[in-house]
């Protein structure tokens, strides 16, 4: 009787289903070509979910198993799901969209204090905004020691912090960032050398996305004795640097009739002379807006393109300063006097591909712009014409795909994370000179003769920027957990953070600059 029951079971649909699923995954890798790692993960997850769902239909409707066995299997599946939910928690996804699962009882390390004294120490240098003084992730005059096996980076402090993808902006001993605390967004000021919180400014606002995470995205900007910061829901604030007192503020989306972007507001404020520039992405001439930095009143607005997640950046082209922004349709350049659009470069990719990286300028008024999910990079040249300016493509490359990390330019070459792998690209041709080392979707800072990488896994890696081959000089574990936040380097002090922890390390510098 038992053998007869087994002969009646229809196993072949199940084996066929999973055989096709495995074949689909294999063929996807084999024929995927330049499909991004994230697209591959999404494809494989879709195949797996489809196979599991159809397997459940097979079990209940087509297997011919005795009903007691069908219900038993169903009970086992349900019990396994309940046990998994009670034991594990979902902590978002990696930059490649791989789910991050942790034990429910796992906790972040407690606060740590380093073994070096800070009494009498000074901070030579500032990192006053997103991507540093010139908003290009490049610093000069910091002569780091490149032998970390002898001169090791030293921990000053490491402690828990509220969730956010903001970085630090620094001025003197003050380090400003943003974080989430329950239903409130905070702009916080820490003592750079000790980690002590000096003040906080609190506002009722919360942005939460299962994939994108919780909290603010943008990095504050310090200008003189003022701090400018925008939260994930569009709340712009001007604060006193010393006290944290809120001097003025409003919601830029509400003010300009713009919609909240899918992943929250991420563009960091650009301050130039008397202007604070942001991209609310409103229609009817409200795409990019400049406010008076003293009062918050609108000085000008221009463009009608929707905002993505890139930040405005200032560049001089043919003697004229212009504000560039990477928007939904491409790169737009706005005049500084009235905000009108001077020229545009169309980004001919999928409209759903996020635009995050800031356009990087190379010699000859040429710019490189890139995005992830298989989109790649373009180099275009801006020229002055009788009618104004025009932008013309010079090359297109699939060898640099910056999802939400920025890239840097040095001596004719571009260095960045190509879909999570460190790569060097020839700036003249767009051809790749090397690609090696999966560091995830981290962030970079370029120095005179060094390249610092904040890897997605929380490690800090030091490179020699060499177009011939990747030369890794040293590394150390800095943070626990997924790290997408941009680092800040104020002199020799490296400030790091993610959605769980913040830390400050003193990097070794050569003796002639030693303290």
pLDDT band for 400, please (50, 70, 90 cuts).
Answer: very high
Look at residue 382 in the predicted model and tell me its pLDDT.
96
Look at residue 117 in the predicted model and tell me its pLDDT.
59
Same domain, 321 and 451: yes
Residue 486 has pLDDT above 70, yes or no: yes
Same domain, 93 and 153: no
Helix, coil or strand: residue 20: helix
Count of CB atoms within 10 A of residue 336's CB?
Answer: 18
Same domain, 190 and 271: yes
The two counts, helices (H) then strands (E), for the chain are 5, 37
Rounded to a whole number of angstroms, the distance between the first and last alpha carbons of the chain is 87
Contacts of 272-276 with C-beta under 8 Å, sequence gap 24+, read 272/314, 272/321, 272/323, 272/336, 274/299, 275/299, 275/336, 276/221, 276/228, 276/236, 276/238
Average pLDDT over residues 31-45: 71
| String of DSSP letters for 112-139 | EE-SS--TT--------STTTTTTSSB-
Residue 513 has pLDDT above 50, yes or no: no
Would you say the C-alpha torsion 195, 196, 202, 206 has a positive or negative sign?
positive
Torsion angle, alpha carbons of 231, 402, 345, 133, to 10 = 60
Number of domains in the chain: 2
Query: How far apart are the C-alpha atoms of 441 and 417, rounded to whole Å?
Result: 7
List 282's β-bridge partners, or say none. Answer: 286
Query: How far apart are the C-alpha atoms of 288 and 286, rounded to whole Å?
Result: 6
Query: How far apart are the C-alpha atoms of 41 and 482, rounded to whole Å?
Result: 18
Look at residue 20 in the predicted model and tell me its pLDDT.
86
Among 158, 173, 167, 166, smallest CA distance to 126 is for 173
| Average pLDDT score, the chain | 90
Instruction: Pick 8 or 250 by higher pLDDT.
Output: 250
Looking at 103, 127, 149, the residue that finishes a domain is 103
Residue 491 has pLDDT above 90, yes or no: yes
Report pLDDT digits (tens) over 390-399: 999 999 999 9
- The DSSP bridge pattern shows strands 451-454 and 459-464 to be antiparallel
Domain that holds residue 64: 2-103
Residue 206 has pLDDT above 80, yes or no: yes
Query: How far apart are the C-alpha atoms of 334 and 141, rounded to whole Å?
Result: 31
pLDDT band for 354, please (50, 70, 90 cuts).
Answer: confident
- The DSSP bridge pattern shows strands 88-93 and 443-446 to be unpaired
Look at residue 350 in the predicted model and tell me its pLDDT.
66
CATH assignment at residue 260: 2.130.10.10
Same domain, 360 and 460: yes
**Which H or E element spans position 100?**
strand 99-103
Residue 4 has pLDDT above 70, yes or no: no
Average pLDDT over residues 346-350: 81
Query: How far apart are the C-alpha atoms of 50 and 18, rounded to whole Å?
Result: 10
Tokens of 263: 């992943």
Same domain, 98 and 146: no
Report pLDDT digits (tens) over 148-197: 988 999 999 999 999 999 999 999 999 999 999 999 999 999 999 999 99
Same domain, 116 and 98: no
Q: Residue 168 CA to chain centroid, in angstroms?
A: 14
Q: What is the DSSP letter of 12?
A: H
Looking at 72, 103, 134, the residue that finishes a domain is 103
Asked if 201 and 221 touch (Cβ cutoff 8 Å), the reply is no
Query: How far apart are the C-alpha atoms of 45 and 52, rounded to whole Å?
Result: 10
Same domain, 15 and 163: no
Among 290, 279, 276, 301, smallest CA distance to 223 is for 276
Look at residue 390 in the predicted model and tell me its pLDDT.
93
Average pLDDT over residues 51-72: 84
Look at residue 86 in the predicted model and tell me its pLDDT.
81
Q: What is the DSSP letter of 80?
A: H
Backbone torsion region of residue 473, taken as left when φ is above 0, otherwise alpha when ψ lies between -120 and 50, otherwise beta: alpha
Asked if 144 and 463 touch (Cβ cutoff 8 Å), the reply is no
Which letter, b or e, does each residue of 214-250 get, where b requires 16 or more Cβ atoms within 10 Å of its Cβ?
bbbbbbbbbbeebbbbbbbbbbbbbbebeebeeeebe
pTM of the full structure = 0.86
**Which H or E element spans position 52?**
helix 37-57
Query: How far apart are the C-alpha atoms of 418 and 180, rounded to whole Å?
Result: 30
Tokens of 221: 């900007």
Count of CB atoms within 10 A of residue 117's CB?
Answer: 9
Same domain, 308 and 215: yes
Report pLDDT digits (tens) over 426-479: 999 999 999 999 999 999 999 999 999 999 999 999 999 999 999 999 999 999
Look at residue 333 in the predicted model and tell me its pLDDT.
96
Look at residue 53 in the predicted model and tell me its pLDDT.
87
Looking at 40, 74, 103, the residue that finishes a domain is 103
Return the minimum-mean-pLDDT range out of 81-85, 229-233, 236-240. 81-85
Same domain, 421 and 479: yes
pLDDT band for 287, please (50, 70, 90 cuts).
Answer: very high
pLDDT band for 514, please (50, 70, 90 cuts).
Answer: very low
Query: How far apart are the C-alpha atoms of 504 and 497, rounded to whole Å?
Result: 9
User: Percent of the chain scored above 90 by pLDDT?
Assistant: 65
Residue 131 has pLDDT above 80, yes or no: yes
Same domain, 75 and 119: no
Residue 115 has pLDDT above 80, yes or no: no
Average pLDDT over residues 57-85: 84
Instruction: Pick 4 or 434 by higher pLDDT.
Output: 434
Average pLDDT over residues 338-357: 87
Tokens of 488: 């800040």
Tokens of 223: 């200008």
Same domain, 493 and 426: yes
Query: How far apart are the C-alpha atoms of 108 and 481, rounded to whole Å?
Result: 9
Tokens of 134: 């010139």
The dihedrals phi and psi of 337, each to the nearest 5 degrees, come to -85, -35
Torsion angle, alpha carbons of 131, 370, 290, 202, to 10 = -50
Q: What is the DSSP letter of 353?
A: S
Average pLDDT over residues 212-240: 96
Same domain, 452 and 376: yes
Q: Rounded to a whole number, what is the largest CA-CA distance in the chain?
A: 92
Q: Is 85 exposed, middle or buried (0-12, 13-18, 19+ CB in 10 A)?
A: exposed
Asked if 190 and 175 touch (Cβ cutoff 8 Å), the reply is yes
Residue 379 has pLDDT above 90, yes or no: yes
Look at residue 461 in the predicted model and tell me its pLDDT.
97
């Amino acid at each position: 009787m038992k053998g007869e029951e087994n002969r009646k079971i229809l196993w072949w649909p199940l084996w066929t289903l999973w055989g096709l699923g495995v074949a689909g995954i294999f063929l996807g890798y084999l024929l995927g070509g330049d499909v991004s790692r994230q697209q591959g993960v999404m494809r494989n997850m879709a195949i797996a979910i489809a196979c599991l769902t159809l397997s459940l239909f097979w079990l209940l409707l087509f297997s011919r198993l005795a009903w007691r066995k069908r219900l038993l299997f169903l009970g086992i599946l349900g019990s396994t799901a309940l046990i998994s939910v009670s034991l594990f928690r979902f902590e978002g996804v990696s930059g490649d969209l791989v789910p991050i699962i942790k034990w429910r009882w796992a906790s972040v390390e407690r606060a740590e204090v380093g073994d070096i004294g800070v009494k009498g120490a000074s901070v030579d240098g500032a990192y006053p905004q997103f991507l540093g003084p010139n908003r290009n992730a490049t610093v000069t005059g910091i002569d780091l020691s490149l032998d970390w096996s002898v001169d090791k980076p030293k921990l000053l402090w490491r402690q828990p912090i509220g969730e956010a993808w903001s970085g630090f902006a620094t001025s003197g001993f003050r380090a400003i960032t943003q974080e989430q605390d329950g239903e409130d967004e905070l702009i916080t000021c820490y003592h750079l050398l000790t980690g002590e919180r000096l003040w906080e400014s609190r506002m009722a606002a919360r942005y939460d996305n299962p994939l994108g995470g919780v909290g603010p995205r943008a990095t504050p900007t310090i200008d003189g004795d003022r701090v400018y910061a925008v939260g994930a829901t569009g709340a712009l604030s001007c604060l006193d640097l010393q006290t944290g007192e809120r001097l003025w503020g409003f919601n830029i989306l509400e003010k300009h009739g713009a919609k909240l972007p899918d992943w929250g507001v991420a563009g960091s404020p650009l301050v130039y002379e008397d202007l604070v520039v942001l991209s609310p992405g409103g229609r009817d001439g409200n795409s990019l807006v400049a406010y008076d930095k003293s009062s918050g009143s609108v000085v000008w607005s221009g463009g009608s393109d929707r905002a993505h997640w890139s930040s405005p950046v200032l560049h001089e082209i043919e003697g004229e300063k212009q504000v560039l922004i990477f928007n939904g349709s491409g790169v737009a350049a706005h005049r500084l006097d009235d905000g009108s659009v001077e020229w545009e470069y169309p980004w001919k990719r999928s409209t759903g591909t996020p635009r995050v990286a800031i356009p990087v300028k190379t010699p000859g008024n040429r710019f490189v712009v890139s995005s992830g999910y298989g989109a790649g990079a373009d180099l275009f040249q801006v020229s002055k014409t009788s009618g104004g300016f025009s932008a013309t493509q010079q090359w297109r490359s699939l060898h640099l795909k910056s999802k939400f990390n920025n890239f840097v330019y040095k001596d004719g070459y571009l260095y960045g994370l190509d879909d999570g792998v460190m790569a060097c690209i020839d700036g003249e041709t767009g051809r790749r000179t090397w690609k090696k080392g999966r560091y995830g979707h981290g962030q970079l800072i370029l120095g005179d003769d060094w390249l610092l990488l904040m890897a997605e896994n929380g490690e800090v890696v030091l490179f020699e920027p060499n177009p011939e081959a990747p030369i890794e000089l040293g590394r150390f574990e800095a943070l626990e957990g997924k790290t997408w936040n941009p680092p800040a380097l104020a002199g020799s002090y490296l400030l790091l953070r993610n959605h769980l922890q913040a830390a400050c390390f003193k990097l070794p510098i050569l003796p002639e600059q030693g303290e």
